[in-house]
Copies of this chain bind each other. A is one copy, B any other.
């Protein structure tokens, strides 16, 4: 198949170069089958150690498994309409008559697929997604630390509110993404395998093995997995559900960063920008455009993948010891991991070349500086016993708006307020006169947050 014959945008568009190299070993169908083979091999190795078969047989099966290809398995499946039986047949064909019985011995299909899916998703998360997110986190920390004193007007409702610093803005994401990284790590570590047979009661393995529960642990240990508290034909659905939640909610944090950055890139705001390559075209008809396409893309991926949690929730429900209405849908779980990697990788790149325009930051701040003093004014007046401080400040801002005079001037010249103002501390008065100093703990907090997350995540 030509790559561009693909239907899924993941395959024909977002999965190439570095991304391909990173994801192929875990998330491709070739990888799926390779992991299934690893579980079949773990089983026969355990059988040999328990002296149910000889180690020669185990070696023979291991060697055979290495030669099985996805194409071969699919060819066999086309004939017999059963994917794991097809896999088993492909191995069996490559071993001696003596070894044949020990391929897939006492296993049910889902012992293999539930376990191998948990394994490869865990590996993809631990070896690809978490490092990408950690790298993004590191970049965010560096921006936050670098810009912890860079004045920015804080915004609520898209309106100028109170002063902060650009580093403080980013610190919010340092903390939120840091939290998600820990959540993903915990959930990946919790993924489980199983070797309890067709309905979870160890019916088949108990025919041969005295303590089939122990044997399950023994098989799974070989591939660094653990069983859950109980299984049916399936591993309990909640392990993967928790992981998908952790990933989707991390994509939400990345989408939020992206929304913020693209709004800060609006023509009228222009507080940040992305350095473009010399050859890069902004728009096919508008050569002057510098569009936040990377941030838009990260948001767009979130729009595509967040709703898929509903599928994950629906797949929690399986009738009795199992129906197979998750046969197609659960195959798409790997796409969620892929999308998170693609988004993290893209966001990492664009954040690493993000430029902060200090002139714009100052310019935007100045537009509102005359009214920014309204909050401290109201609070200070109130603290000094003014009976109606909030309303007084509100009316002064209206007057500042109408007359074009500075709020500070109106405030400091207001005769009725004199008795209060003269009781202010020097520092308090300083803030009323210089609203750019009204940044509270923005800088200190940024430092604290970065320090905390460097520590928690071991980022040097």
Contact = CB atoms under 8 A, between A and B. Distances in A.
Contacts of A290: 159
A318 B257 CA distance: 9
A46 interface: no
A306 B314 contact: yes
Given A85-B281, A212-B441, A252-B313, A4 B387 contact: no
A380 B440 CA distance: 54
Given A4-B29, A306-B313, 4 more contacts: A176-B236, A287-B395, A303-B329, A306-B310
Given A281-B85, A304-B332, A316-B256, A157 B7 contact: no
A263 interface: yes
A352 to B, nearest CB: 17
A203 B375 contact: yes
Interface string A247-286: 0110011011001101101111100000001011111111
A11 B9 contact: no
A393 to B, nearest CB: 4
A419 interface: no
A283 B325 contact: no
Interface in A169-183: 169, 171-172, 174-176, 178-180, 183
B311 A323 contact: no
B6 A378 contact: no
Chain multiplicity (copies): 4
A432 to B, nearest CB: 10
A199 interface: yes
23 contacts: A81-B277, A82-B281, A104-B284, A105-B382, A154-B199, A155-B322, A158-B263, A162-B199, A162-B204, A164-B200, A176-B236, A204-B440, A206-B441, A207-B380, A207-B431, A241-B249, A245-B249, A284-B390, A287-B394, A297-B327, A300-B327, A301-B328, A307-B307
A108 B207 CA distance: 54
A403 interface: no
Contacts of A141: none
A114 interface: no
Interface in A300-358: 300-301, 303-304, 306-311, 313-332, 334-335, 338
Interface string A424-451: 0000100100000011111011001100
Contacts of A208: 383
A319 B263 contact: yes
A230 B180 contact: no
B308 A307 contact: yes
Residue among A33, A281, A368, A428 with max Cβ neighbours from chain B (10 Å): A281
A232 interface: yes
Contacts of A7: 8, 10-11, 15, 23, 27-28, 334-335, 338
